[in-house]
Amino acid sequence: MSKYLFVKYNDNWADEMDITGFAIVKQEDWAAIIEEVKAFFKKKLGGWTFGVGTNEEIEYMTFKDWSRQLSQTELSDDEAKTLIDVFKRAKIRPGYDEPRLVIEEGFFPLPSSDEVDEADDDYDEDDEDGEDDDLL
């Protein structure tokens, strides 16, 4: 069985409401997601906005801003099996062929494939800020 991670998202909107969620994801898929999001932020120099309600949004200007809201814990095989059995569904994000997040509950901010494509289209290598964003 692949190793799984429990990745928790926790942020706050305007000191008025806590925004939380979690994902259970294979360790190798999470590493790939991190690299993709890191590349996304390097291309999306104006920041990225994540909607959390009808008119509420949280904005992340850098990969570091986004990654500070996440914590991860390695799951034992038994823990992963139990959680997957309890939730028994995979959410496939629009534009992706297969689920990378085995379980996703609550708010879990990842750029959509459309947002990634738009950032690729708008990216100009001469605009890079040179910021060295650390991984989680």
Cα 113 from chain centre: 12
Q: Which of 48, 6, 39 is CA-nearest to residue 133?
A: 39
Residues 45 and 118: their CA atoms lie apart, in Å, by 12
Q: What is the pLDDT of residue 98?
A: 57
pLDDT at 22 over 50: yes
pTM: 0.77
Q: What is the pLDDT of residue 125?
A: 60
Amino acid symbol at 3: K
Q: Which of 134, 98, 96 is CA-nearest to residue 115?
A: 96
Both tokens assigned to 3: 């190793």
Query: For residue 47, is it left (φ>0), alpha (ψ between -120 and 50) or beta?
Result: left
Q: What is the pLDDT of residue 11?
A: 95
What are the tens digits of pLDDT across the range 71-116? 999 999 999 888 888 876 655 454 455 556 667 788 888 887 788 8
